[in-house]
Amino acid sequence: MHSTILALCLSILLLFTANAVQAVTVEQAFASHKSDVQVKSVGIVLRVLIDDNDGSRHQKFILKLVSGQTILIAHNIDLAPRIDGIGKGETVEFYGEYEWSSKGGVLHWTHHDPQNRHVRGWLKHKGRVYQ
């Protein structure tokens, strides 16, 4: 009986957790001009940009997705480790918050939230996870 109740509680918890984060693709978010949605995908580094050092420091680079769409990655290096040595043509997997722009969008929140109020994001490069 206890195992049945435990299984039911876990099922309900998983159901609510799965629904707590909206799952859409980058392409869907871009096409519908959506922002503030969690996305997960993979892309190839098209260009590495100079760091943004205004306010919180961000490592920035542009990825090209399989669909051909591009996305700017703005990775907060005050809260997460920098991806050292990242270069054009390398693969990066990502999970973070998408913000729409006419150029393809921006990915933020590729790190943990020190105050635990936001979904934890990450980048993965050469088998290492940065969060």
- All structural domains of the chain with their residue ranges: 23-130
Give the global pTM: 0.81
Map tokens 């869907």 to a residue.
28
At 53-107, the pLDDT tens digits run 998 999 999 999 999 999 999 999 999 999 999 999 999 999 999 999 999 999 9
For domain 23-130, the question of CATH label 3.60.21.10 is answered with no
| CB burial readout 32-60, b (16+ within 10 A) else e | eebeebbbbbebebeebeeeeeeeeebbb
Q: Which two tokens stand for residue 130?
A: 């940065």
Q: List the Cα angle 45/123/31 in 5-degree steps.
A: 65
